[in-house]
Amino acid sequence: MVREALLRGAGLAAAALLGFGAATESPAHAASPDQPTVQTAPASTAYDGSSVIDGPSSCPRPEAVWRELVTLVPPERLEARLRAVTRGKTPLVEIVDLGVPYRILAAGQLREYRDESRDCAYRARIAAVFVALAIDPAELPAQLPTQPAMPPPSAPPVVPALPPPVDDMPPPRARLDLGATAVGGLGPEDRVGQVGAELRWSAGRRRLGPEVGVTALLPVDNTVGGVRLRQWRLPIDAGLRARIAGPRFERYGELGVSAALLSERALDLATSRSQTGIELGLRLAVGVHASRGRLAPFAALSGELVPAPPAIFALPAGTVGHTPLFWIGATAGASLSFL
């Protein structure tokens, strides 16, 4: 449905383009309103498709793009523009089929579009419109509203409006970040470093959206108040992510609450036992990920404040210290987007 609407809307652009060509390159025709000219078939030019459009694309094929292009731009103008733009160098256009995305390089301009259905005819039309705009960027928009004398063509070629390129795609509906993480705990009696993996889900296309994450950290040995401990920690957090989108990168910040499952086991005491507790804290993070591509690299820094860290108790000393008051972490990995 969307495509049909776009196609209908683009018909006017095609008519305008044809009219523009007639008005500028064939003034005799334009001066004869009683003899309306209906261009239903492209005329040949001094250029052929293979010399202008090339590339290892099977969908769309270069010759299909050429066939569409010559229906959009009058032959004389197309020849003149090609001559001016190519300056003897060919090919002018290169088409690359990347599967769902396809890339068009025309007159030094690069665009990438996505087409999940792989409709090659549709792709050819899209590519032709982009090429037409690339080789003659100023004329088409300027002529659109200024063709009152042009009689409506009986069967104007259908020119689709350009879909948004990949760069202009709406932000993903959700993201799943998976990365390696390293955290350091700081406190008056305990300093510890741990490594592990972090999984984080965030949602929403707006600037603010929910996020939730879990981090699995490998056990580590450390000493608190002279007592050697094996420490294991599983933090879970939830909060809000604020995004600042950019053409190449999206920056974000997160604020939320965290709850960490904490297990401590003494290593050297005469009688040792494992104890499990929960740390409650506030979490703040900043990060960045690439804007392009469904799978993009990301990196983030985080800080977590635990206002009341659990005390470590061992006889005969009693309370020998507390687990860290503050945790800092760095994470890097891949971010998978869901449209």
Partner 1 sequence: MMPARAVPATVLLLAALAAGCSQLDVGSDLLWTARFETGDFTEWTGVAGGDAQAFPMPPNTIAVANGQAHTGRYAAALTITAGSDGTQENAVLSRAGGLPPSAYYSAWYYLPYSVSVGTFWVIFKFRMRTDANDPSTAGELYDMDLATLPSGEMTLELYDHQTAADLPLDVSNPIVPVEEWFQLEAFYRAASDDTGHLTYWLNGRQVVDIAGAPTSPTSWVEWDACSVGEDLTPQMATLYVDDCAVSRSRVGPAGRLTE
DSSP letter assigned to residue 167: G
Range 192-251, binding partner 1 (CB under 8 A): 226-227, 229
Q: Provide the minimum distance between the beta carbon of 121 and partner 1 in the complex, in angstroms, as a whole number.
A: 44
At residue 26, what is the residue type?
S
Q: Which is nearer to partner 1, 86 or 263 (CB)?
A: 263
At residue 5, what are phi and psi to the nearest 5 degrees? -65, -40
Three-state SS across 180-199?
A: EEEEEEECCCCEEEEEEEEE
Least distance (Å) from partner 1 to the CB of residue 281? 10
Residue 318 contacts partner 1 per CB under 8 A: yes
Which sign does the torsion angle of CA 18, 20, 26, 32 carry? Answer: positive
User: Which of 310, 332, 334, 336 is the binder for partner 1 (CB under 8 A)?
Assistant: 310
Question: Among positive and negative, which fits the CA dihedral 35, 38, 41, 43?
Answer: positive
Indicate whether 145 belongs to the interface with partner 1 (CB under 8 A): no
Yes or no: say if 321 and 188 are a contact pair by the CB < 8 Å rule: yes
For residues 19 and 143, the answer to whether their CB atoms sit within 8 Å is yes
Identify the H or E element spanning 62.
helix 62-72
Q: Does residue 325 bind partner 1 (CB under 8 A)?
A: no
Instruction: Please state the closest distance from residue 276 (CB atom) to partner 1, in A.
Output: 7
CB of 111 to partner 1, least distance (A): 40
Distance of closest approach, residue 265 Cβ to partner 1, in angstroms? 7
d(CA 339, CA 157): 32
Amino acid at 304: E
Q: Is 137 in the site for partner 1 (CB under 8 A)?
A: no
The residue (of 172 and 309) whose beta carbon lies closer to partner 1 is 309
- Interacting residues of 304 by C-beta distance below 8 A, sequence separation 6+: 235, 237, 258, 281, 282, 283, 284, 326, 327, 328, 329
Residue 335 CB, nearest distance to partner 1 (Å)? 25
Q: Applying CB under 8 A, which part among 52-60, 136-144, 268-276, 291-299 lies near partner 1?
A: 268-276
- Residue 316, interface with partner 1 (CB under 8 A)? yes
Of positions 164, 218, 274, 305, contacts partner 1 by CB under 8 A: 274
Q: Which is nearer to partner 1, 165 or 187 (CB)?
A: 187
Tell me whether residue 38 or residue 308 sits nearer to partner 1 (CB atom). 308
Closest CB to partner 1 among 141 and 219? 219
Of 278, 271, 334, nearest in space to 306 by CA: 278
Which residues form the interface with partner 1 (CB under 8 A)? Answer: 226-227, 229, 259, 262, 264-266, 269-280, 308, 310-319, 323
